[in-house]
């Protein structure tokens, strides 16, 4: 079963993305003991009280009191047994663990989400995770999508438990005030949900195609030579482009994550994450454009605008094919990402050599030529 987010998980994941953009230039503690910013570690001590926490960090630990909300993205977020959050928690992290008291709701997205035996959550739990464990008390209901969900013997849920999981285990000693229902719609990744109205999935496909065509037109109009070189590189050596694309896809996020855990590197990591996201979108368009250009050469046609339409519309149609469509889109993305990286490096080296050559010529002209 693929990794799925519940609605709260999607909200928390969106929070993480928004935090990366909005908090990238902010570091520190604001007035009135309300933390807003980015830091390596955020700790609320046992005897400390904060109004709220909104931030990005490697680790966030609440041992004291937060009277308001906690909205954060981090490697680890932990509300310890002595910790108390008066409002809501919206968290996106590798690990989210609640052992203390939360007055409101908890919305969490993470690799692991754990509600410990001593946890007291007054509202609802809405989670999307690889692994979710519930051992504490939840006053409201639970809505969760995960690979594995465990409801332990000490768990107490006041309302319903609605879940979508490959593996669900409920101990007989666990207390659930409402019903326990498997609900596959929790992990449904169809159209965006606006209350009772759900947008049809095809509308999202059409919208995505339109936006990609618009971006492609801008790229071809603004950078015609560069775009042509990207397409040529894919056509001439697709194996190299694909290999470099795969290395870039794996390597760049790892570097950004490492930077995120250093105070000096946090701003670079956050800005880099935004830049890489934009580059990935450009790579999708370039990859499909390059495949469209290659297809036209087979028909002895050369037209960059037609290649853009053929490539993007073709992949929009192929994307409707289960599994195969996704694999083909991934291949085009890797081709585009690798060709983009290689062409950018080539352009950078070309400008550097031109600059170096110009300085050398100036030195030669003013230098060691013997007088007549």
Task: For 164-193, give one letter per residue: b (16+ CB within 10 A) or e.
Answer: bbeebebeeebebeeeeeebeebbbeeeee
Contact at 8 Å (CB) between 116 and 134? no
* Per-residue pLDDT band at 183 (split at 50, 70, 90): confident
The SS3 call for residue 310 is helix
Mean pLDDT of 172-187: 88
* Per-residue pLDDT band at 271 (split at 50, 70, 90): confident
41 vs 362: which has the higher pLDDT: 41
Residue 4 has pLDDT above 70, yes or no: no
Q: What is the distance between the alpha carbons of residues 82 and 6, in angstroms, rounded to a whole number?
A: 29
Contact at 8 Å (CB) between 303 and 246? no
Q: What is the distance between the alpha carbons of residues 132 and 151, in angstroms, rounded to a whole number?
A: 8
208-216: Cβ within 8 A, 24+ apart: 208/316, 209/312, 209/313, 209/316, 212/284, 212/285, 212/288, 212/312, 213/308, 213/309, 213/312, 215/281, 215/282, 215/285, 216/285, 216/289, 216/308, 216/312
Lowest mean pLDDT among 31-40, 71-80, 158-167, 242-251: 31-40
Q: What is the pLDDT of residues 8-60, one digit of tens each?
A: 444 444 444 444 434 433 333 333 467 776 666 788 999 899 999 887 777 88
Nearest alpha-carbon partner for 114 in 83, 79, 143: 79
Nearest alpha-carbon partner for 290 in 227, 223, 206: 227
Q: Report the pLDDT value the prediction gives residue 203, as an integer from 0 to 100.
A: 59
Q: Report the pLDDT value the prediction gives residue 1, as an integer from 0 to 100.
A: 43
Residue 90 has pLDDT above 80, yes or no: yes
Q: Report the pLDDT value the prediction gives residue 292, as an integer from 0 to 100.
A: 92
Residue 311 has pLDDT above 60, yes or no: yes
Q: Report the pLDDT value the prediction gives residue 21, as an integer from 0 to 100.
A: 39
Contact at 8 Å (CB) between 286 and 230? yes
Residue 220 has pLDDT above 80, yes or no: yes
Lowest mean pLDDT among 7-21, 69-83, 248-262: 7-21
Mean pLDDT of 256-279: 80
307 vs 357: which has the higher pLDDT: 307
Contact at 8 Å (CB) between 308 and 291? no
Q: Report the pLDDT value the prediction gives residue 8, as an integer from 0 to 100.
A: 47
Q: What is the pLDDT of residues 289-298, one digit of tens each?
A: 999 999 998 8
Backbone angles phi, psi at 85, to 5 degrees: -120, 115
Nearest alpha-carbon partner for 96 in 115, 81, 83: 115
Q: Locate the domains of the chain by residue range.
A: 7-189, 197-363
DSSP for 99-113, written as a single string: -SEESS-EEEEEEEE
Residues 6+ apart with CB under 8 A from 18: none
Q: What is the pLDDT of residues 115-170, one digit of tens each?
A: 999 999 999 999 988 899 999 999 999 999 988 999 999 999 999 999 999 899 99
Q: What is the distance between the alpha carbons of residues 28 and 165, in angstroms, rounded to a whole number?
A: 39
Q: At 232, which helix (H) or strand (E)?
A: helix 224-236
305 vs 12: which has the higher pLDDT: 305
Would strands 197-198 and 193-194 be described as parallel, antiparallel, or unpaired?
antiparallel
285 vs 186: which has the higher pLDDT: 285
Q: Report the pLDDT value the prediction gives residue 12, as an integer from 0 to 100.
A: 46
Q: Report the pLDDT value the prediction gives residue 115, as an integer from 0 to 100.
A: 97
Q: Report the pLDDT value the prediction gives residue 325, as an integer from 0 to 100.
A: 81
Q: What is the distance between the alpha carbons of residues 71 and 91, in angstroms, rounded to a whole number?
A: 6
Burial grade of 42 (CB within 10 A; 0-12, 13-18, 19 or more) = buried
Residue 79 has pLDDT above 60, yes or no: yes
């Amino acid at each position: 079963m693929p990794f799925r987010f519940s609605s709260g998980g999607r909200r928390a994941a969106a929070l993480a993305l928004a935090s990366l953009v909005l908090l990238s230039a902010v570091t520190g503690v604001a007035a009135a003991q309300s933390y807003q910013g980015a830091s390596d570690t955020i700790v609320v001590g046992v005897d400390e009280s904060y109004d709220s926490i909104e931030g990005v960090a490697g680790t966030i630990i609440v041992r004291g009191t937060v009277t308001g909300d906690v909205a954060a993205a981090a490697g680890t977020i932990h509300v310890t047994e002595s910790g108390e959050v008066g409002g809501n928690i919206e968290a996106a992290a590798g690990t989210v663990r609640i052992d203390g008291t939360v007055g409101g709701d908890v919305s969490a997205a993470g690799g692991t989400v754990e509600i410990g035996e001593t946890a007291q959550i007054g509202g609802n739990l809405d989670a999307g995770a690889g692994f979710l464990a519930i051992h504490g008390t939840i006053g409201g209901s639970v809505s969760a999508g995960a690979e594995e969900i465990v409801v332990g013997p000490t768990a107490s849920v006041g309302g319903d438990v609605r879940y979508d999981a490959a593996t669900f285990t409920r101990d007989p000693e666990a207390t659930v005030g409402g019903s326990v229902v498997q609900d596959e719609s929790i992990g449904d990744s169809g159209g965006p949900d606006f209350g009772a109205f759900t947008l049809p999935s095809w509308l999202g496909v059409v919208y995505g195609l339109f936006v990609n065509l618009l971006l492609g037109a801008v790229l071809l109009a603004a950078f015609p030579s560069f775009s042509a070189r990207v397409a040529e590189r894919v056509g001439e050596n697709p194996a190299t482009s694909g290999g470099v694309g795969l290395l870039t896809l794996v390597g760049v996020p790892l570097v950004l994550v490492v930077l995120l855990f250093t105070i000096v590197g946090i701003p670079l990591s956050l800005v880099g994450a935004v830049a890489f996201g934009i580059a990935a979108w450009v790579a999708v368009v370039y990859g499909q454009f390059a495949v469209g250009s290659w297809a036209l050469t087979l028909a002895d046609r050369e037209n960059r605008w037609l290649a853009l339409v053929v490539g993007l519309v073709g992949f929009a149609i192929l994307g409707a094919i289960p599994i195969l469509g996704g694999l083909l889109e991934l291949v085009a993305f890797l081709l585009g990402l690798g060709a983009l990286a290689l062409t950018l490096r080539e352009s950078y080296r070309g400008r550097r050599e031109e600059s170096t050559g110009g300085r050398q010529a100036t030195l030669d002209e003013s230098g060691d030529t013997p007088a007549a």
